Amino acid sequence: MSNKETGYRVENPATGEVLERFATATDAEITSAIESAHAAYLDWSALDISERAAVVHRAADLFEARKQELAEIISREMGKPISEGVEEAEFSAAILRYYADNGAQFTADQSISTVDGATAMIKRLPIGALLGIMPWNFPYYQIARFAGPNLMLGNTIVLKHAEICPTSAQAVEDIFRDAGVPVGGYVNVLASHDQIADIIADPRIQGVSLTGSERAGSTIAALAGKHLKKAVLELGGSDPYVVLDTDDVAAAAQLAWSTRMYNTGQACNSNKRLIVMDDIYDDFVAELVRLAEAMEPGSPDTAGPGVYMPLSSRSAAEGLDKQVRKAIEEGATLRAGGVLGDAAFFSPAVITDITPDMESHHVEFFGPVAVVYRVSSDDEALAVANDSPFGLGGAVFSRDQLRAEKIARELKVGMANVNTPAGEGAELPFGGVKRSGYGRELGPLGMDEFVNKQLYYVQK
């Protein structure tokens, strides 16, 4: 069974059934959206930031009020468990509130001391209409972390979502419209790939933010560069998760496993490479295998420990299966799972014995696959952790915090964590280095990307 469906649609990943189709926008509709976003920018940016904050606060309240409905929408679109969908809507609300509460502080004028006594300051000003290109794995959260700070700044948003997320995309536009964002202030477009290029080329669009694959990031970066537009890229990751020692191997393995299985393994900053010290490695892997073998397929409303969901689509499951088969052909060992099932189901897998000379060592397994490496020293653990083309996040665990911190400080990543899988919160910046992209979202830095840092100078 191979699903070659394309175009905007709602496709149940548990069955492969296409429930609804949507027409791609016409060129005239794209032009109208850009015109609307530009016109809205002129008025929206002229408002006092406190007025924009009131609107963004209302949007946060609507995300909270509609969280059950929102969760059900994405469970149909991309198979997310209802409980995780509710959490995502709640987190989206928290992000919007964070920027509504802190936006005035983040954009306050910054005085500069001058040698001649003149008045000088940095003003943080909006720049115009922006294009956001969002992925399917976190349909609401990805939008919130892009739209929240930029709407607060006074920018406006043209949003192109993934082809399998048309109804969640519309639900978000409805929230912002109902909250009081003016017509054009946030507009959803069902654009084609060719139309994305046209949008970026339009002089009224001042920047583009993409969360997606390396391939997509390379394409968008080239287009943005060609047209001299600012870009923020959050791309793939193959995050190292280093376990140096533990008082409870089973508990450590369970935390690593539950982290890896969140969102069916479809998270950019998931712990895709588990790097474990050799004295606990065998017991650690044995516990992972036990957990993997105990898992059963389920539906979004029956999610919980021991239950796994389908991937986002049949094509995603087939792509992951191809990667796992390639690893085995190269000499890796499949310890558990790794079976391509019906529709988009793929049984959670544990893989060991991948080595640096294998192609599989350098790829991202975007799904429920835990790859485990054995190491015998802290130096080796660090070397394996940094031997990746990606640099999104990483984590180091040890009973000796200073020992863990020593390695964490040397990780070539955008987000280094000690004794936790990941620091998460609206206030914590998110982003990477190397082939994981550039720019930051969330936290104060998330409001410092698509902004005119204008020097304002008055000679006395």
* Cα 419 to Cα 256: distance, rounded to the nearest angstrom: 11
Residue 106 within a domain: yes
Identity of residue 258: S
Catalytic residues: 234, 268
Domain count, the chain: 2
* Cα 25 to Cα 43: distance, rounded to the nearest angstrom: 26
CA of residue 35 relative to chain centroid, distance: 28
What are 295-348's pLDDT values in tens digits? 999 988 787 889 999 999 999 999 999 999 999 999 999 999 999 999 999 999
Residue 430 within a domain: no
Question: Residues 6 or more apart from 256 whose CB is under 8 A from it?
Answer: 241, 243, 271, 274, 284, 288, 370, 421
Which of 418, 410, 412 lies closest to 379, judged by CA?
410
What are 36-54's pLDDT values in tens digits? 999 999 999 999 999 999 9
* Cα 264 to Cα 16: distance, rounded to the nearest angstrom: 17
Residues 414 and 299 in one domain: yes
Residues 201 and 284 in one domain: no
Residues 368 and 399 in one domain: yes
Confidence of residue 2 (pLDDT cuts 50, 70, 90): very low
Give me 162's structure tokens. Answer: 């993934």
Average pLDDT, the chain: 96
Residues 273 and 413 in one domain: yes
What are 161-179's pLDDT values in tens digits? 999 999 999 999 999 999 9
- Which phi and psi (to 5°) does residue 270 adopt? -70, 160
Supply the Cα-derived Rg of the chain in whole angstroms: 23
Residues 217 and 248 in one domain: no
Query: Is pLDDT at 283 greater than 90 in this prediction?
Result: yes
Q: Write down the pTM of the prediction.
A: 0.96
Question: Residues 6 or more apart from 288 whose CB is under 8 A from it?
Answer: 253, 256, 257, 274, 335, 336, 350, 370, 372
CATH, residue 90: 3.40.605.10
CATH, residue 336: 3.40.309.10
Residue 196 within a domain: yes
Residues 401 and 291 in one domain: yes
- Which phi and psi (to 5°) does residue 116 adopt? -105, 10
- Residue range(s) defining the domain that contains residue 391: 240-418
For residue 237, give the 3-state DSSP assignment.
coil
**Residue range 365-382: mean pLDDT, rounded:** 98
Contact yes or no for 450/207 (Cβ under 8 A): yes
Residues 410 and 445 in one domain: no
Which of 388, 389, 413, 385 lies closest to 397, judged by CA?
385
Residue 288 within a domain: yes
Give me 251's structure tokens. Answer: 């508990």
The pLDDT of residue 3 = 45
Residues 281 and 206 in one domain: no
Residues 166 and 299 in one domain: no
The pLDDT of residue 4 = 55
Identity of residue 146: F
- Which phi and psi (to 5°) does residue 164 adopt? -95, 10
Identity of residue 383: A
More confident residue, 200 or 6: 200
Write the DSSP string, 360-406. GGGS---SSEEEEEEESSHHHHHHHHH-SSEESEEEEE-SSHHHHHH
